[in-house]
Amino acid sequence: MALIPLSYNLRSLIVRWPSTILTVLGIAATVAVLVGVMALQQGFTALFRAQGRDDVAVFLRQGATNEGDSAFTRERAMILMKTVPEIAEDEAGRRLVSAECYLAVRRNKTGGGGETNVPVRGVMPMSFVIFGRDITFSQGRNFTPGTDEVIIGAKLAERIEGARLGEVLQFNTTPFRVVGIFEHDGPFSSEIWGDHDRISEALERPVYNRVIAKLNDETDWPELVRRMDQDPQVPSKLLTEREYLTSQTSAFSFVLSALGVFLAVIMGIAAVFTATNTMLTAIAARTIEIGILLSMGFRPHAVFLGFMLEALLLGIMGGIVGALIVLPLNGIQTGAMNFQTFTEVAFAFRVTPQILFGAIVFAALLGILGGAIPAWRAARMRPTEAMRRG
Amino acid sequence: MAEAALIQLKDLTKTYTRGGETLRVLDQLALTMERGGFYALMGPSGSGKTTRLNLIGGIDRADHGEIRIGGIDLAHLNNAELARWRAASVGFVFQGFNLMPVLTALENVELQLLLTDLTRAQRREHASYALELVGLADRMHHKPGQLSGGQEKRVAIARAIVTDPTLILADEPTGDLDRKSAQAVLELLTKLNRELGKTILMVTHDPAAAEVARTIVHLDKGRLGRIETRSPAGAGG
Amino acid sequence: MPPFRLVWKNLLRHRTRALLTAASLAVAIFLLCVLRSLLVVLESGIKASASNRLIVQSSVSLFVYLPESYEAKLERIEGVERVVRWNWFGGYYQEPKNFFAQFATDVEDLFEVYPEIELVEGSQEDFFGDRRACVIGSEMARKFNMRVGDTMPVIGGLFPRTDGQPWDFRIAGIYHSVKPNVDNNTLFFHADFLQKALESGAANGPEGVGIFVLRLEPGADRVRVAETVDALFAGGPQRTQTTTEAEFQAQFVSMVGNVPFFVGSIGGGVLIAILLATLNTMLMAAREQTRDIGVLKALGFRDGTVFGLMLGQSMLLTGVGGMGGLLIALSSERFFAQLLGTAFPGYHIAAETVVEAVIATLLIGVLAGIVPALRARKLSVLTALRSVG
């Protein structure tokens, strides 16, 4: 089958450049909005999900969905730490388990942005052993156990007042000195860490919110989960850290995905209509040319394909421009609410290759949908009539 | 005799720049045309026929020289005044087909009357009458696309006369028409000149069209050529 | 004044194109209305706040409780008329996704301090007299199909019962709040009931009071009362942060952080996309009508008329599209309100949203129409007549 040369369609896009540009930009704006939302969702999910560890166990109170809800009394936490046989030991024979307290505290954002909720975590020295090299210090040092010292996640240090190295943060009536800034690729980098006993005393919360531990390699997880759920002394809910962090993102992630789909459908409809308009006008202006092509012996489906190709080009160009508009967003830090714990976490937009590819496929689809009816109309023209009408 | 002169052109000069090249379309042209005359402007392409028609119709301005029509110097009118003058005093029959494709024949003719103070009913009446006059009483509610070329031209003529202007300017009125339709259009123009006393100025390169005019003015390269005056009887007979 | 017939007849010359443009404008305006309404919901609580109420909360954290003993001290402060305890209960109905707000509160004071809460079914006496009774919001009653006299089982998230059973509240009334600062998806019950359960060991959970709401005496100085409260507890055991109701609501908006900015960016993108689409249509229309414009001008129509002709087409086109979008938004209001449910209570298309949609429509109409209109006005008759239609 003889196809209409691509250069014919390319040139006609160039000749009608104002219309081409407006259509491409229209599709680009649609794609840009979508990519922006998806990059937000990716950044947020990646922060939690990718950093969660499969070899760290998280114990929460039964029925709790997050650390804020969960609570163990001191007594129950100690029983849990001492009795679970699956908890691993290090070379020195120490059990790799730590109990932590957790509270979202009010802090003023820097630059007068109002209040935000910041997670404060009181930890035992063993927490650092469990997370090991995941936590590194970029400034200062770790806090000394038993003192009123805290360390701040690197992403938080600039976002709230009084959180730089050497400054003092007050919790209720107790001042804490910032002695170190630490890095973590996950959500810890938006937290304040201090000694458990000192923090819980300052906040007057003599409870543990969760227990974390490293388990022996041969642990039968499903069996242990079942056993902990029915434990007569301290019933608890057991998850891997990855499972726990994933559960933290699901609500916000779902909202963003739903918003993305909603926007894609609604804005997509508008973009398809625009592409249809452009192609209809392009075809109307070329009625005589179509007549000539048809009378030269080109088959109607060659005409159809030719115009579909033109619409596809419009779509792909829109996709590329849209992706380029949003690409600089990659890596930009932003904050969003973790609705489970009501705390703000800092993370970066992530414009992944998958998102970009998806955006261009989506834009191509918009072009194809927009081109279908006009191309079909063009293919159905009768050569003689087309030439007379022009 | 001064009263009889409707159009007076003096030293009319007009140049165009096209593609970097300066074309002198009219060169110090002087001409007087009388009220009630039927003039045909003839000449080869680029001889300045259409330009002169546009200048007289007030849709173009001369570089130099004077155009007086019915005693009014067009150069002294600003664009708005010129537009008002056009609406009241001149009827145009443009080259090609210049009807609004979205309006019916009646609405197209009525369009010109929107610039007057006539009521809606009066506009209807005048437009219908003009269409009757051009023999299209049965085609009033057709759109241009549903009319033949000759009929479209006659609608354009109806639009040109609906305000009862003294002067009718027609640019190649038979240009796109077959012989028979062209003949009908020329007969109509003759009728308007004879029976209603309209002054008609027609640009054409069709010798058959020029035949019906009483005066034929030849133009060549922006300058006036020969002027032929024919006996009034000749046109009819 | 352009001949109006010519305006709409020119638009109808390409029915498909006009229809598609108006339709895409309609979906865009609809989208803007939805996005704007989400922001309005976020902000509505602040606007409806009463000025004679102060909120006392922990200055440390939203999740830190104040001692019960503060109530008596607060009542003695000059200018304070009444004190109501509000305790966040954090439970859910049947499963966690059926989440809604429940508060343990001083029920008699509640109706005094919040006159906007009106019982539409049931009686206050019945509610006050039974410690196991509760009142629920009208929206919630509809959603869960509950009536006065029914039992509402609530699983305690924050306050689990030791017997593992849900808390059974008898519905004594259904309320409706006429202002958006109290939403109609909340359950209120007796604070004493919760306290007794904790004391008797029937349930576990944090002790203390979430927030105290103070109603001030007429003419009392808000700022002074707030300062007095915070000074009183500055030495502990829990420091307080006393704010107006508006500031209290505003802190939640502030915590949502960049959401208004995100939504705004999306809205901006939508506006740009639709403006380009409409401009595209108008430029196409203008190109086709070039010769018509020349004829009109030659006939003696003024520059202003042809300007109006093009602008009129743009305004008519966007006007129809914008109205369509507004109609979709208004008719889908109920659907979205239900879809967003208790997670985002109070979704509605506010009057100001309608006004903004109209302004956006007019703006698009003017911006898309002005370029072709100016071009039409400036177009010389000769150029126009020479163009091939």
Domain housing A344: 6-49+248-389
pLDDT band of B237, cuts 50, 70, 90? very low
Minimal CA separation from B115 to chain C, in Å: 7
* Cβ atoms within 10 Å, residue A322: 30
Query: Do A16 and A68 lie in a common domain?
Result: no
Minimal CA separation from C14 to chain A, in Å: 9
Where along chain C do its domains lie?
4-46+257-386, 60-238
* C348-387 tens-digit pLDDT: 888 889 999 999 999 999 999 999 999 988 888 877 777 6
Note whether B114 contacts C3, CB cutoff 8 Å.
yes
pLDDT band of B1, cuts 50, 70, 90? very low
Chain C, residues 329-358, CB within 8 A of chain A, namely none
Residue C313 confidence (pLDDT) above 90: yes
Minimal CA separation from C383 to chain A, in Å: 20
Give the 3-state secondary structure of residue C55: strand
pLDDT band of C251, cuts 50, 70, 90? confident
Greater model confidence, C318 or C343: C318
Chain C, residues 232-251, CB within 8 A of chain A, namely 235-239, 241, 250-251
Note whether B60 contacts C382, CB cutoff 8 Å.
yes
Chain A residues within 8 A of C283 when measuring between CB atoms:
18-19, 22
Q: What is the pLDDT of residue C224?
A: 83
Chain B, residues 22-61, CB within 8 A of chain C, namely 54, 57, 59-60
Burial tier of C60 (Cβ tally within 10 Å: 0-12, 13-18, 19+)? buried
CB pairs under 8 A between A and C: 166
Nearest to C251 by CA among C41, C43, C38, C35: C43
Is the residue at A228 inside a domain? no
CATH architecture of B35-56+90-236: 3-Layer(aba) Sandwich (3.40)
* B159-197 tens-digit pLDDT: 999 988 989 999 888 887 888 888 988 999 999 999 988
How much of chain C, in percent, has pLDDT values that exceed 90?
17
Burial track B123-146 (b if 16+ CB lie within 10 A, e otherwise): bbebbbebbebbebeebbebbbee
Q: B206 vs A315, B64, B140, B210, CA distance in Å?
A: 52, 30, 29, 6
**Cβ proximity of A105 and C238 under 8 Å:** no
C222 touches chain B (CB under 8 A): no
Is the residue at A234 inside a domain? no
What does residue C191 show for φ and ψ, rounded to 5 degrees? Answer: -65, -35
- Tokens representing A51 are 């950093």
Q: Going from the first residue of chain A to its last (390 residues), give the mean pLDDT of each consecutive group of 10, the final group possibly shorter.
A: 73 84 89 89 80 86 80 87 87 89 86 81 91 88 92 88 88 90 88 92 86 88 88 87 83 81 88 88 82 78 89 93 90 74 80 92 94 90 64
Q: A270 vs A27, C270, C325, CA distance in Å?
A: 9, 10, 12
pTM (2 d.p.): 0.77
Selection from B106-110, C7-11, C123-127, C384-388 with the highest mean pLDDT: B106-110
Q: What is the pLDDT of residue B2?
A: 42
Q: What is the pLDDT of residue C255?
A: 63
Query: Do A28 and A78 lie in a common domain?
Result: no
Query: Do A360 and A269 lie in a common domain?
Result: yes
Q: What is the pLDDT of residue C66?
A: 85
Query: Do A60 and A43 lie in a common domain?
Result: no
Nearest to C189 by CA among C119, C103, C261: C103
Last-in-domain residue among A161, A192, A214: A214
Q: What is the pLDDT of residue A153?
A: 92
Query: Do A82 and A133 lie in a common domain?
Result: yes
CA distance B10 to B82: 19
Residue C69 confidence (pLDDT) above 80: yes
pLDDT band of C331, cuts 50, 70, 90? very high
Burial tier of A133 (Cβ tally within 10 Å: 0-12, 13-18, 19+)? exposed
Query: Do A64 and A206 lie in a common domain?
Result: yes
Query: Do A129 and A29 lie in a common domain?
Result: no
Greater model confidence, B138 or C59: B138
A33 touches chain C (CB under 8 A): yes
Q: What is the pLDDT of residue C345?
A: 67
Start-end of H helices in A286-352:
287-296, 300-326
- Residue of B115, B116, B155, B176 for testing the chain C interface, max C β-carbons within 10 Å: B115
Number of domains, chain A: 2
Chain C, residues 365-384, CB within 8 A of chain B, namely 381-382
Chain A residues within 8 A of C277 when measuring between CB atoms:
22-23, 26, 270-271, 273-274, 277
Return the amino acid letter for C123. S
Query: Do A39 and A60 lie in a common domain?
Result: no
